[in-house]
Amino acid sequence: MYKVKVYVTLRESVLDPQGEAVKNALHSMNYGEVGSVRIGKYMELEIEKGSKEVEETVNEICSRLLSNPVIENYRYEIEECVAL
């Protein structure tokens, strides 16, 4: 079994109104030292060994469902779990 961590972030050129709102909230809570906030998604998947390479599966899943490639980037880490 593989444990996969997926990080989806907005592309640099895309405005992040949610992050902007968090930044303004932090400023009004007296955390003026916070300069910029960008908000993304973090996902943990468990994937069984299948017929395809796990990396291929993860790439397909990320680009087809978990992210919107027009405005978002994704990266991932794959850990193999070995049953003892």
Interface residue with its own copies among 11, 24, 27, 50 (CB under 8 A) is 50
Q: Does 1 bind its own copies (CB under 8 A)?
A: yes
What is the smallest separation between the CB atom of 12 and its own copies, expressed in angstroms? Answer: 11
64 binds its own copies (CB under 8 A): yes
Single-letter code of the amino acid located at 79: E
Query: What are the CA-CA distances from residue 78 to residues 11, 29, 44, 72 (Å)?
Result: 22, 38, 10, 20
Q: Are 17 and 79 in contact (CB under 8 A)?
A: no
Q: Pattern 6-45, binding to its own copies, x per CB under 8 A? A: -xxx---------x--x--xx--x-xxxxxxxxxxxxxxx
State yes or no: residue 61 binds its own copies (CB under 8 A): yes
DSSP classification of residue 62? I
